[in-house]
Amino acid sequence: MIVHAKFFTGVLLHNRNTHEDGLVTRVYESRQPRETMYQVAVPIRRDTWAGRHYVSDWAESTLEFSDNAALAPNKPSGASRSVTNAELRNILGDSQL
């Protein structure tokens, strides 16, 4: 993980440029220009993880935390933690994370 990354794996983000929400699956740094990047799982059907998702790479400068309750993983009330890799696999139906 990048030491100065603003977000981390398992966090639900909103991309201001594309108006999409997605779950972070990987954090890395681009080579040129050097910017923190996020590999994000984005549902094909808006507001639901039912069905398939695609993977997109998002630049940190375009991101903010998402308030999309429909995509938020089920967590105990008041919990503010990110989801674990096992929870990501369950949400996305993907065993290759």
In a domain, 65, yes or no: yes
DSSP 45: S
**Domain membership of residue 65 as a residue range:** 12-92
Task: Identify the pLDDT of residue 78.
Answer: 47
**pLDDT grade for 85, boundaries at 50, 70 and 90:** low
Choice between 35 and 92, residue whose per-residue pLDDT is larger: 35
In a domain, 19, yes or no: yes
Query: Residue 36 burial (CB < 10 Å; 0-12/13-18/19+)?
Result: buried
Tokens for 69, please give them: 């309750």
Task: Identify the pLDDT of residue 82.
Answer: 65
Over residues 17-34, the pLDDT tens digits come to 999 999 999 999 988 778
Q: In a 3-state reduction of DSSP, which class is residue 55? A: strand
Does the predicted model carry a pTM greater than 0.75? Answer: yes
In a domain, 61, yes or no: yes
In a domain, 6, yes or no: no
DSSP 89: H
Q: In a 3-state reduction of DSSP, which class is residue 59? A: strand
DSSP 25: E
The alpha carbon dihedral of 22, 28, 30, 35 has a sign of: positive
**pLDDT grade for 62, boundaries at 50, 70 and 90:** very high
Domain count, the chain: 1
Choice between 71 and 32, residue whose per-residue pLDDT is larger: 71
In a domain, 2, yes or no: no
Name residue, tokens 């966090």. 11
In a domain, 53, yes or no: yes
In a domain, 1, yes or no: no
Task: Identify the pLDDT of residue 8.
Answer: 92
